[in-house]
Structure 1
Amino acid sequence: AENLQRVSLHPLDQFRAFQTLHEQGLGEEEIAARFFVSVATVRQRLRLASVSPRLLDLYAEDEMTLEQIMAFSITNDHVRQEQVWDTISRSHSREPYYIRRLLTETAIRASDRRAVYVGIEAYEAAGGVTMRDLFDQDQGGWLQDPALLEQLVMEKLKTDAEAVQVSEGWKWVEAAFDFPYGHTSGLRRFYGEQAEMTEDELARYDATRAEYDKLDAEYAEASEYSDATEQKLEELGSELDRLNERPYVFDPQEVACGGVFVSLGASGELKIERGFVRAEDEPKDETDPSADDGNDSSDHGSELPAAQAAGGEGTQPDDEDETIKALPDRLVLDLTATRTVAMRNALANNPVIAFIAVLHAFVLKTFYVYGSDSCLEVTLQSARFSQTPGLGETVWAKEIDQRQEGWGQDLPKDPYDLWDFLIRLDEVSRQALFAHCASLSVNAVVEPWNKRTRAIAHAEQLIRSIGFDMAETGWTPTADNYLGRVTKARILQAVREAKGDQAAELIGHLKKADMAREAERLMTGCGWLPEPLRMTNGEGIIDSDAVGDAVGSDELGAISEAQDLPAFLLEEPETSDDDTGDTESGIGDEHLAAAE
């Protein structure tokens, strides 16, 4: 009977046997040799045996699966393990990925830029604990002490920022984990010049470039793929990049009144923004009357000699006086008014120069905050959105910053040289610079206290002309940017529109925070957009093509009363059904207006 009806051991018996041997002093290698398994298998079995005894008993009674036990093993906190089990045992979702998510929701991934910047070794040396998953790829694990990590980040940032200030001689330096988008608005920016190559570097660059071009041309004619050639081309390209990436040298006088912002980049590298001057640090011009009394020079009218001002308006020239006196103010006004009208007419007949003149005014406003004024009374305003979290890390904001940085390096340092620079610039570059400056003035933000109906209607026209779509640019709903900031009813509506009724029913029983995270997972890559981001068809009806193929046209909204306005602008605020019982925005409309 023993030989014919033998029943296999329960896996838990093996886990506990390994644990008993380990407690008796056997190493992982010895246990592996005794049972003819790998050392990694022994580590996994020992980790499984360290799960809460209560959960292991449930596993022994087949009330839990091995995959669930494996998910629970990423943490050694038995209390937390049992809390999560009690939570999921009352719900329909007991998948291992969901268990891992609940166990790590308060932890920080090792791939997070803060963890990369500080380093796992430094974090653990300071007493931090790292959770690891032996059964699945965890990209380095999870850091369980966010407060300790934040402290280490700020300490290292301050040290690095002080080192930059001391070594480069800046007047001030500001360090932060992250700065809000638009933090440099209102500050004058100056740029350094890239250091010239030495003779040795120039010779090495020319030789490397020639070798790269020759090898690339030969490889282009080859009929077979060559791993060695690919690697050699990559090495030569890296060498060329290294020679091109030379440091920038700044004017010592500018450095003495300028400053630096030091923060973390998206990949955990140190991000240093150099060359910003505050208004109070601007050098005073002795010939500028505004430096003495603080008034705008425009308040003084035309820059006329003091003798003319003494003459006063209406003073007639004295024919008997042989001395040449200053022209009367009124005469100067009339003459310059006549010239202005003539200039307007001439400029209207020269579209090329008119374009350059407007571009000149735009560039002065965009790149020379305290630069010379333009004779064109054209204003360029750029709204700030610093209150929107994470905006500076979006791919769109980074592209704008790269363009701003690139043009800032190319433009002349002195604003008085800008006109000649724009005249010499080729037409394609002029148009690109004009588009960059004009783009910074776009403001399609709907504010609670100002619906801006006409501006938003024009934004719709602009969107259609550009052929722009938020889903195509890569925007996707997440718990941070949308799903976690609306009511449960809105979350379910979004999932229903994007994935159908069945998907919405799967998460309908979850709490709001868990529902938002699960909705984010379900809706990834589906192309769904909330109403403020959807296109309209020009008649106030939301365009179903911009929402995604999974969205039915009967679920997209109704026709608005105003034909030129998106439907979402006419909706009344709804009452939240989440646990707090507050309105969806958290504050009533009348309170928002009063607070603003």
Structure 2
Amino acid sequence: MNDQSNIPVTFEEIPFADLHISDLNPRKVVNEASIITLAENIRAYGLIQNLAGFREETGVGVVVGGRRYRALALLQDDKRFQTVTVNMAPDQATAEYWATSENAQREALHPADEIQDFGAMEKRGATVADIATAYGATEAHVYRRLALATLPCPVIDALRSGDISLSNAAAFTISDDEKLTLEVLENVRGVGESDHRIKKMLKPDAIKDSDRKAVYVGLDAYKDAGGRTSSDLFADEVLIDDPAILDDLFGKKLAEASEGLIAEGWKWAEPINDSYIGWYQIDEMKLVRIYAENGDLTEEQGEEYDALAELAESDVLDDEGQAKLEALQSILDGSFTDEQKAHAGVLVYVDSRGEVQCETGLIRGTDKKAAIEAGVLAKSNHAGSSGTKSSISNKLRIDLDRIATGSRQHASLRDPEMLLALLALQLSGKSGYTNVLGLRETEVPNVPTTEMAGYALDERLTKATRPAKFGSDMGRVFRAYKAKGPEFIMEEITRHLASLLMVDEDLGETIDKAVKTDIRENFTPTAANFFGRVGGPYLVNLWCKLLDLSEDHPTATTFAKLKKSEKAEKMEALFGDPEMRNAHNITETQAKRIDTWLPEGMV
């Protein structure tokens, strides 16, 4: 068959019972849910497009309209669809052509056209359900398209022309300022900007409703105070548009929580704006911790506690078991006496989940004498000690400094011109008494005493140069060396200058910014190079901080019971073993915190 333009058009009314899907029909896989939706559309609006068929031995085979045929099969309780109009192919060759062509030539409506049509239908009075039925779409899809239909026309035009993506267009729906919307559109048109960046340009100060402050204050309280919100339908979140109001409410509510603790008998309670308080903050505030009078579990209670804690660790503990575990933990934790409270205070903060947490039993320096006299605090045997001793020993601190130096040297290899400029700075005398480079016989240490455990540098910083043999002709050695060419010479200068880098803090910050020094690019904390060299309480605090755990959480208390070596091994696994992270259901935020964490003093 050569001339497809002269195919005769023949329509026949065929009883549905005489129809079947022809083997010529190419559509073999269908979505049953979409067939149900299509059936609802046909019941509401009728069969807009006829089936096409070919008379076969067993009846009329449907070659075009397989989805419509399947939808009609669901409508046989309706007399309107028990007889169907079918466009009949005059021969098999035509039927084969129709079957292939109808599916191959189909083109989906452009999202911009669909958005504008949805909006036009709504303006004509169509409900979301009506639009969903007409398009065979879900109501959720219609709601999203209608949200896009409210965008200024230039945004829809940019989507149609391909200057922005559909997800870019969705990002614009958070804005209620048309002038700003159009300004941002011009800035991002055709540059492939991320959705997140567009949202930040439209609402730079907006805060998500999942933010800890928003969770703690509550959306209702925020709105009652006059706070405005906007919805990001596509990200299924609410945005806080007045962060100043939220901050004010947050501060007041946290202050009220602090006052409540004072009413319970604590000498003082100080609200802290941070989402976590570690031992180092307590140390900086010159606070000394005392502990509650611990309770004791019977042997039977101890066995039950261990069994429940193991179930909690595996996330299989039911509500009843959780309640029992908390009751036993409360006994273990004990409580502070009235006399302890009279001399100590509390730091109050809201964690990343929006829940109030307290660091209790903290004595200020000005209250230490009275606390010692009252027998609440033991007198220190170390003269001159005014606070908690750092968990990082001097030897470990030297090793961490070497790692930081090595990381800076590693990064500086990326910028040979900067290294030459530093060399010129020192040789010119401009740096005064400050040595920028270690131009002496002594090396600048960049390898810790634990050597390369969890630590890796560019091999150019660790590769030793083979010296000339004793008694060699140095003129000949130099000529051979120089003959290797300027590129080789520059590489040698670069690697050796980098290995001699030993700048002070101010210049170091400038260099780090220029070469993008990232200590974690070279250093991963391990049991050998760090965790096994600090105390158990430090590891417990760090474990809780990284995993967003309160001190009494079963995962935290189970970790605290481990031997120090076991704690160190578990911390190493948390930093380097994907299976360990999966076992603890590490979130994206927690993973980022772990992957960027550094011991204090290295940041």
* TM-score, reference length from structure 2: 0.45
- Identify the structure with the greater strand proportion: 2
Structure having the higher Rg: 2
